[in-house]
Amino acid sequence: MVDKVFEKSIIKQFEFDEEVASVFDDMLNRSVPFYKEMQRLSINFACNFLEENDKVYDLGCSTASTLIELSKHCEHNLELIGIDNSSAMLNRAAKKAKAFGVDIELINADLHDVEYANAKLILSNYTLQFIRPLQREKLVKKVFDSLKEEGIFIFSEKVISSNSKLNKQSIDEYYEFKKTQGYSEFEISQKREALENVLIPYTEEENRKMILDAGFSHCETIFKWVNFATFIAIK
Ligand SMILES: C[S@@+](CC[C@H](N)C(=O)[O-])C[C@H]1O[C@@H](n2cnc3c(N)ncnc32)[C@H](O)[C@@H]1O
Ligand SMILES: O=C(O)C(=O)C[C@]1(C(=O)O)C=C[C@@H](O)C=C1
């Protein structure tokens, strides 16, 4: 279904509710530049580290697109676990996983309340940005503690620049991108307001610092388009 959520006047903050979930795959494809390419790269980098029966978590799995693609592309049998606190998203995830014949354990819970023991790979694309900063650092520490030795954490985030001129240009470029995807200026400004104080982006450097402070030995950016970045961190 086509995303028309912000065509009408919105008075509430952005939420992953039934309305957003019903158009989410289209929303993500049209709102995150090179979403499919970022997903393809995350999966390729992940597959290079994975072995038979490894445990993989996707934090903020939404409709389970990434876990389904991972299972299609990885030559190994994997234990796949998706966590999200939106029932509307998980209902769709369950239907999609069934349709694609992929076995995924879906957990409806807050990311802070789940134990992720013995994971080889933890994925989290465009989710940490929705976690309050103080909680975010704690969650990343928990991700580090849950990974096996040499386990990997692949995550993507909307980022900001610490240079105000570059930051403004990045935002302008992003809104131009949204226009090319068919979003009107009204939809763009409505969504910007709805996301205010809900999506809190860090700079690329702050993300890297958070990762290294948690104990990871290595962190690099594997993909970046202006203000959207994908990172790989190795324990
Ligand atoms: C932008 S979406 C993630 C997109 C998804 N990773 C993908 O690539 O298809 C963010 C997801 O995180 C979930 N989420 C946000 N905060 C959460 C929390 N504290 N606990 C669990 N899930 C959360 C939302 O419900 C939403 O489905
Ligand atoms: O920042 C925006 O305006 C966006 O639309 C980005 C973004 C994201 O980065 O997750 C925000 C919410 C939706 O989940 C889809 C895309």
End-to-end CA distance of the chain: 39
**Is residue 225, in this structure, part of any structural domain at all?**
yes
Residue 10 confidence (pLDDT):
75
Q: Residue 7's pLDDT is what?
A: 81
- Is 129 part of a structural domain of the chain? yes
* Ligand with the closest atom to the CA of 16: 1
CB atoms within 10 A of CB 29: 15
Query: What CATH number did the domain enclosing 121 receive?
Result: 3.40.50.150
Output the pLDDT for position 122: 98
Residue 169: domain span: 11-234
pLDDT in tens, 21-67: 998 999 999 999 999 999 999 999 999 999 999 999 999 999 999 99
Residue 197 lies in a domain: yes
Task: Please indicate, yes or no, if residue 94 is contained in any of the structural domains.
Answer: yes
* Mean pLDDT of the 76-88 span: 97
CA of 100 to the centre of ligand 1 (A): 21
pLDDT at 57: 98
- Computed over every residue of the chain, the mean pLDDT equals 96
Question: Which DSSP string corresponds to 169-201?
Answer: HHHHHHHHHHHHTT--HHHHHHHHHHHTTTS-P
Tell me, yes or no, whether 2 lies in a domain: no
The amino acid at residue 149 is E
Euclidean distance between CA atoms 100 and 10, whole angstroms: 35
111 near 132, Cβ under 8 Å?
A: no
Count of domains in the chain? 1
Residue nearest to atom 15 of ligand 2 (CA): 28
Tell whether the model's pLDDT for residue 11 goes beyond 80: no
> If pLDDT is split at 50, 70 and 90, which confidence band does 232 have?
very high
Best residue for ligand 2 mutational test, from 15, 125, 126 (most atoms within 8 Å of Cβ): 126
d(CA 125, CA 156): 4
Instruction: Establish if 192 belongs to a structural domain.
Output: yes
**Reduced DSSP (H G I as helix, E B as strand, rest coil) percent helix, strand, coil of the chain, to 5:** 45, 25, 30
Q: What is the pTM of this model?
A: 0.96
Q: Tell me the pLDDT band of 173, cut-offs 50, 70 and 90.
A: very high
Give residue 9's pLDDT band: very low, low, confident or very high (50, 70, 90): confident
3 domain-assigned: no
How confident is the model at residue 141, as a pLDDT?
Answer: 97
Decide if 152 is inside a domain.
Answer: yes
| CA distances from residue 204 to 147, 155, 156, 176 in whole angstroms, order as listed | 22, 12, 10, 22
